Amino acid sequence: MMIVGAHCNREKGVSRAQSIVNACQKIRRLGGQTLQIFLNSHYKSKVNKLLLLEIEIIKKARDNNNIQITVHGKYMYNFCRPSSGRTMWQVEALCQELVDADQLGANVVIHQGKNVKELHQSRQDAKETYVNNLREVLNKTTELKNQILLENSCAAGSEIGASLVELSEIYHSFSETEKKRIGICLDTCHLFVSGEVDIRKRSSVQQLFTDFEQLFGGLEPLKLIHFNDSKTKFQSKSDRHAPLLQGYIGNSQLEGSEEGLRGLVEQATKWQIPLILETHSDDDYLSTEINWIISAATPIPGLTTPVPAPVLTTTSGTATAVTVPYQIPRRIIILKRRDNI
């Protein structure tokens, strides 16, 4: 069975609990089974603990809509920075996010960290500090069952964890007991723009899963895939998500190909790995993206005829015709700058 869904940001003017309820209903209505959310502002250090009433409301919506929930941690986290004094908030904040997420049956995804220049960190120092900080979080939350999912980076600047080799080194720095609460999240845009995997090619996707299995001792640690196209080219090291089939991975007009994405859907279906779209598409296009994924997992006759191409306005302002297959509404699609996940 294909497990697919999307990230939904908090709605303006709506309570946190109601916003998550609405997101559960939306994902279910669009044909998905899984949802990713922020529990707190991702650009502020403050964490607002979930109230018991909020937990009850969210769990009811989750169960009524048969939705699996994942929490995305704060963007502000940089666990390559030693947590002491002013930076101790990071450990405490992630601990609280884990406590809240655990009550919803959810894992927490976090980004990789970066070298701290003023500390003159080496790359090895950065990785060791990252692991030590997360170990402290694990030690403070031993009563919990949920996992911290480590997301691969796009290799921008001094970010660690872009390559599978380095990500596996970080993973294997934890003890076998600690690994029970550590998992991996792979982002297709990050894999592509870092130059780690050319997601356009089915053969590269197959090799990705083979390499992952060898490096991590199996596919069990791979808990989630962020399924995104890219607004920037292969090896650009720029994290700019594009709607599915509208970026440099899946759009043939941008030298992309659907084949690799199809291969990844097939692998995710085979191994029951949830796919989360972080493309911030409107409901119409999000429905189309979800339906495309479902059809790629289980091909349906008669859904392969392209429709007239909409226009993609790139971040450089260049208008490019986009050939997007399947049942996409005839409309102009403008890609605006948004915060990526």
Tens of pLDDT along 142-188? 999 999 999 999 999 999 999 999 999 999 999 999 999 999 999 99
318 burial via Cβ count (<10 Å: 0-12, 13-18, 19+) = exposed
d(CA 281, CA 71): 19
Please name every residue paired with 207 in a beta bridge, in sequence order, or none if there are none. none
Residues 126/113, Cβ–Cβ less than 8 Å: yes
Question: How far is the C-alpha of 331 from the C-alpha of 58, rounded, in Å?
Answer: 35
The more confidently predicted of residues 52 and 324 is 52
Average pLDDT taken over every residue of the chain: 88
Q: What is the pLDDT of residues 28-74, one digit of tens each?
A: 999 999 999 999 988 888 899 999 999 999 999 999 999 999 999 99
pLDDT band at 325 (very low <50, low <70, confident <90, very high): very low
Which domains does the chain possess?
A: 4-303 (3.20.20.150)
Confidence band, pLDDT 50/70/90 cuts, at residue 114: very high
Q: How many CA atoms lie within 13 A of 233 on its CB side?
A: 5
Cα gap 319→253, rounded to integer Å: 12
Does position 266 have pLDDT exceeding 70, yes or no?
Answer: yes
For the entire predicted model, the pTM comes to 0.87
CA–CA separation, 51 and 18 (whole Å): 13
The span from the CA of 285 to the CA of 306, in Å, is 15
Q: Does position 299 have pLDDT exceeding 60, yes or no?
A: no
- On the question of pLDDT at 304 being above 90, the answer is no
Whether 100 has a pLDDT exceeding 50, the answer reads yes
Section 311-317 average pLDDT: 39
Q: What is the mean pLDDT of residues 277-294?
A: 94
Q: Report CA 205 to chain centroid distance, whole Å.
A: 17
Look up tokens 């950065």; give the residue: 126
For residue range 233-246, what is the model confidence (pLDDT) as tens digits?
999 999 999 999 99
